[in-house]
Amino acid sequence: MEEIEPDLAVCLIHNLGYPEGLFPFLDTLLAHADPVALEIIVVASQPEHPALARLERAFPEITILENSGADQPAKARNHACRLAASRYLSFWDEGLRPQPGCLATLIRFLDENPETGLAAPRIVDTHGMVQPSVRSAPSLATILCQHTPLARLLSAAPHLLRQHLLLEQDHLHSFEAQWLLDTCLVIRREVMEEIGLLDEGFSAHYADADYCLRAHQAGWHLHYLAEAVAIQSGPESFPMTTKPSASDTSRLVGDCTRLLLKKWLRPAQLPG
């Protein structure tokens, strides 16, 4: 019998700090997947973790990969993408709960719009309030306002951040975007074949911004789809709600620097 090519690869990173987090996500994902054919790939730094054994028993259709770089999201996601066989690939935050029709809407839109390389759904909290998951392309000004005390000193900072976070954009309607966060990001396989995988030079931040920039430079369109909805029911991954440690600060500075250099310099001067 001829094998059916999966529509969507769901690439996940096992969070050791929240080992049971994938269970409710996968329950919801599989309940609302039809008619989208899925392959599910979980990257884990400790595949012997008891939660993963329970996960395999509960969801025998998943594939679990060992990757010592699972604390580096770009590296872990690339590991999953190399194995994936689907027409589209996707990254998801385990705190999300895709709603009925979410996956089908994303895949249908991409099928009907071959010039679109990346798409993302509307994310709302449990009260239905939109959680901004799409941005304008990051700049030196927005990076300084987000990650330094400049936001408290510069009178224009609130305006710059509102523009960057697209807070005045109507998120109840779909629109073309510059940066879709990897909280939930669906990527056409042809995009990865053309521009490659995520840049593993980013240790924790901005790999998604860089990827969106590279896709746009290659001529692909990026779309935020308000009609596809996912609920953020767990801890959010995208806001910085706690003061970073010294090591986190070092990684953030390195990632910001790399992003800005890749924007300002010719693509050939940095790998990825």
Distance CA 262, CA 214 (A): 10
Question: Residue 91: phi, psi to the nearest 5?
Answer: -115, 140
Average pLDDT over the chain, rounded to whole?
89
Distance CA 167, CA 156 (A): 15
Spans of all domains in the chain: 8-138+169-236
pLDDT, one tens digit per residue, over 24-67 is 999 999 999 999 999 999 999 887 888 889 999 999 999 999 88
Please provide the CATH number assigned to the domain covering 8-138+169-236.
3.90.550.10
Answer whether 131's CB lies under 8 Å from 52's CB: no
pLDDT, one tens digit per residue, over 107-134 is 999 999 999 999 999 999 999 999 989 9
Q: What's the confidence (pLDDT) of residue 15? A: 84
Q: What's the confidence (pLDDT) of residue 3? A: 64
Q: How far is CA 4 from CA 119, 143, 260, in A?
A: 23, 44, 42
Distance CA 248, CA 122 (A): 29
Strand bridging mode 184-188 / 88-92:
antiparallel
Contacts of 59 (CB under 8 A, 6+ apart): 26, 30, 40
Running DSSP on this structure, what letter comes out for residue 270? S
Q: What's the confidence (pLDDT) of residue 155? A: 85
Q: Could you tell me how far CA 28 lies from the centroid of its own chain? A: 18
Q: What's the confidence (pLDDT) of residue 154? A: 83
Written as six digits, the tokens of 108 are 């249908």
Provide mean pLDDT across the span 198-210: 94
Q: What's the confidence (pLDDT) of residue 68? A: 67
pTM of the model: 0.90
Q: What's the confidence (pLDDT) of residue 156? A: 87
Q: With bands split at pLDDT 50, 70 and 90, how would you rate the model's confidence at 240?
A: very low
Q: With bands split at pLDDT 50, 70 and 90, how would you rate the model's confidence at 243?
A: very low
Provide mean pLDDT across the span 70-76: 85
Q: With bands split at pLDDT 50, 70 and 90, how would you rate the model's confidence at 247?
A: low
Q: What's the confidence (pLDDT) of residue 181? A: 97
pLDDT, one tens digit per residue, over 140-190 is 999 999 888 877 888 888 899 999 999 989 999 999 999 999 999 999 999
268 has pLDDT over 80: no
- Total residues found in the chain within this entry: 272
Strand ranges, E, within the chain: 8-13, 38-44, 63-66, 88-92, 96-98, 116-124, 134-135, 175-176, 179-180, 184-188, 221-232
Distance CA 42, CA 44 (A): 6
Answer whether 268's CB lies under 8 Å from 124's CB: no
Q: What's the confidence (pLDDT) of residue 2? A: 52
Q: What's the confidence (pLDDT) of residue 70? A: 61
Q: What's the confidence (pLDDT) of residue 266? A: 54
Q: With bands split at pLDDT 50, 70 and 90, how would you rate the model's confidence at 83?
A: very high
